[in-house]
Amino acid sequence: MLFKHCEKPLDKTGLKVAILGAGPAGLHAAGYLACRGHEVHVFDKLPEPGGLLIFGIPDRRIPKDRVRSSVRELEKVGVIFNTGVKIVGKKVSPEVGDLLARTSINIREIVERFDAVMITTGAWRCRKLGVEGENSRYVYTALDFIFNIRLRELGYSESEPEVREPVAVVGAGRTAVDVLEELCIRGLKTYIVYRRRLQDSRAYRELSRLVTRYNVKVYELRQPLRILSSRGAVTGIELAPVLIDSDGKLRVATEREREVLECGTVIEAIGEEPSPPLDEETARDLGVSLVGGRILVNENHQSTNPKIFAAGDVVLGPSSIGQATKTGLAAARALDSFLRSQLRR
């Protein structure tokens, strides 16, 4: 239930709010603000609202029907959805899912047209290893891989990403778990390559369950140095051993013997980064401060431009549905107070 706040909807304020990004943070904010009497327009680059609830997390964990029925409820309370619209700054960074956007709008135009703006665009930029051979065929980032599997399940594409065995999954975080699970369910021979010990991963419990159940071979304390290819397609990864110093620091021992792990596909699951629809220059023009690629907000989730708020993974970095929802709602409350203080002037 997205809007218990709507038991007694308030009179229309005549004020317009734009919400950029329709994941859990944006959807919860939209429900709250619509019930507080504002005209709420949600923009999202993907063909339907839901963010990672629809295009990331598998149906067995978050049923899509539930998300879709919440979106219908939001429409009933007047929220206007604009899907297939990517919000951009002056410089556009490539992110997962961009190909599905039908059109783009500059964020400056949004800021001028609306009384307040909430940015909830999540963390859709994937970290890369930055090694030679990374642009070969059959090299994917984890989010791109999962996203394309969901597109196929949802009927937005006809095929899944093409995979050749064995598959090397580099990384051991939560997204690596989901990648591994998809590969194992399909019966594909898979390895994990991790630069720490598997037991040091925050996702150790889930990973070790899959490793045992599907007999996955783990190459721990290994750092990929380059991806090997033949005729443009992956054939293996060169790995160097990683040593742990007495103070716990990791050191890649390039002087030691390297090994080649033969594989047909590499999936880089080394994390995602916040993806605000603002490059440095646009942020500066709008008076919004970015810190390490994240939008800087105060305790009211308000950016350094008072009419722009932000919440969810775009502020926190990859987090959870609970955190995104909590910050989305808190930001919506603060945005509502901001608008009401403007009305009183």
Ligand X SMILES: Cc1cc2nc3c(=O)[nH]c(=O)nc-3n(C[C@H](O)[C@H](O)[C@H](O)COP(=O)(O)OP(=O)(O)OC[C@H]3O[C@@H](n4cnc5c(N)ncnc54)[C@H](O)[C@@H]3O)c2cc1C
Stretch that binds ligand X, among 20-28, 189-197, 198-206, 239-247 (CB under 6 A): 20-28
Distance in Å, CB of 170 to ligand X, minimum: 16
Site for ligand X in 84-113 (CB under 6 A): 86-87, 97
Distance in Å, CB of 283 to ligand X, minimum: 13
In the stretch 223-262, what mask flags binding to ligand X with x, by CB under 6 A?
----------------------------------------
Shorter beta-carbon distance to ligand X: residue 180 or 263 = 180
Site for ligand X in 294-313 (CB under 6 A): 312-313
Stretch that binds ligand X, among 162-170, 184-192, 286-294, 314-322 (CB under 6 A): 314-322
Shorter beta-carbon distance to ligand X: residue 57 or 74 = 57
Distance in Å, CB of 116 to ligand X, minimum: 17
In the stretch 55-84, what mask flags binding to ligand X with x, by CB under 6 A?
-xx---x-----------------------
Which residue in 201, 229, 275, 303 binds ligand X (CB under 6 A)? 275
Shorter beta-carbon distance to ligand X: residue 97 or 236 = 97
Which residue in 126, 149, 234, 321 binds ligand X (CB under 6 A)? 321
- SS3 per residue for the chain: CCCHHHHCCCCCCCCEEEEECCCHHHHHHHHHHHHCCCEEEEEECCCCCCCHHHHCCCCCCCCHHHHHHHHHHHHHCCCEEEECEEEECCCCCCCCCHHHCCEEEEHHHHHHHCCEEEECCCCCEECCCCCECCCCECEEEHHHHHHHHHHHHHCCCCCCCCCCCCEEEECCCHHHHHHHHHHHHCCCCEEEEECCCHHHCCCHHHHHHHHHHHCCEEEECEEEEEEEEECCEEEEEEEEEEEECCCCCEEECCCCCCEEEECCEEEECCCEECCCCCCHHHHHHHCCCEECCEECCCCCCECCCCCEEECCHHHHCCCCHHHHHHHHHHHHHHHHHHHHHHHHC
Rule CB under 6 A: say whether 178 interacts with ligand X: yes
- Token digits of residue 331: 């930001």
Site for ligand X in 29-58 (CB under 6 A): 43-46, 51-52, 56-57
Binding site for ligand X (CB under 6 A): 20-26, 43-46, 51-52, 56-57, 61, 86-87, 97, 120-122, 124, 143, 146, 175, 178, 275, 277, 312-313, 318-322, 324
